[in-house]
């Protein structure tokens, strides 16, 4: 009977403590969950957030956010468009890139042709018995320098015809390639300089657009310098030309 009494008392005590133990477990679980909510974020989350923030900053201007449309898919894209010339949508951006690459190609030709004309036009014209097309100061003819009236109309016809052919080739390539079209692609590569792999193509396109941007700045420099000093750029800064030409 004594043993039976002890077992009965033990069972009664266990039954009375069981709900209390369950309640304590629930309280502890709640405290752990609450503490986890206030715990610092994991290192991986912080690193991901940091990398995302870095990607959203402009490469050209690291202190300003990268323009939304400039996602690095175009060659030479470094997130530089402080005035928003790229437009509000992808179509506007592609149109502006098309204009940029065409102006770049013209500028590269002009950056070479301008000083070549100033160095050799007089001698060539004299050899052929023709009047020089340079201005009285020996500068290349331009809107600011004057002298465009000396250019024969045939020259402008040839230039317009070449430009028209280039535009036709560009439209044909655009139609043939569809969504794979690259802005400025005229299907013109007679020397086979364009690589065949994706990385090589991007590298070549980047070189072209960067050289074109430098050439546009160079032409602007030619124009401003000759307008201010009224002298050929080859004579005003001979150190840039005499050693080469």
Residue 42 confidence (pLDDT) above 50: no
Q: What's the predicted TM-score (pTM) here?
A: 0.73
Q: Where are the alpha helices (DSSP H) in 129-197?
A: 153-177
Distance CA 102, CA 106 (A): 6
CA distances from 66 to 56, 58, 72 (A): 5, 4, 10
Note the pLDDT tens digit of each residue in 134-152: 999 999 999 999 999 989 8
Q: What is the dihedral of CA 45, 50, 53, 59, to 10 degrees?
A: -150
Query: In angstroms, what is the C-alpha Rg of the chain?
Result: 36
Residue 3's pLDDT is what?
A: 47
Q: Is the pLDDT confidence value at 206 over 50?
A: yes
| C-alpha dihedral sign at 77, 79, 81, 87 | positive
- 179: confidence class by pLDDT, cuts 50, 70, 90: confident
Give yes or no for residue 105 having a pLDDT over 50. yes
């Amino acid at each position: 009977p004594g043993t039976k009494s002890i077992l009965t008392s033990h069972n009664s005590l266990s039954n009375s403590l069981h709900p209390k133990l369950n309640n304590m477990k629930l309280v502890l679980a709640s405290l752990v969950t609450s503490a986890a909510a206030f715990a610092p974020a994991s290192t991986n989350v912080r690193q991901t957030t940091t990398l995302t923030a870095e990607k959203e900053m402009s490469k050209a201007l690291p202190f300003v956010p990268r323009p939304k449309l400039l996602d690095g898919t175009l060659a030479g894209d470094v997130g530089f468009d402080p005035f928003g010339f790229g437009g509000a949508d992808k179509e506007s951006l592609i149109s502006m890139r098309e204009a940029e690459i065409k102006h770049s190609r013209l500028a590269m030709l002009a950056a070479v042709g301008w000083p070549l004309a100033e160095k050799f036009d007089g001698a060539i014209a004299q050899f052929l018995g023709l009047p020089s097309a340079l201005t009285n100061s020996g500068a290349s003819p331009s809107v600011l320098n004057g002298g465009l009236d000396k250019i024969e109309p045939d020259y402008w016809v040839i230039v317009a015809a070449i430009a028209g052919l280039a535009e036709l080739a560009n439209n044909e390539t655009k139609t043939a390639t569809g969504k794979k079209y690259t802005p400025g692609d005229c299907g013109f590569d007679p020397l086979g300089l364009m690589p065949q792999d994706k990385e090589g193509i991007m590298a070549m396109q980047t070189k072209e657009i960067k050289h074109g941007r430098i050439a546009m700045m160079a032409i602007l420099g030619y124009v401003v310098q000759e307008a201010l000093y009224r002298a050929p750029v080859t004579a005003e800064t001979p150190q840039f030309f005499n050693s080469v030409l």
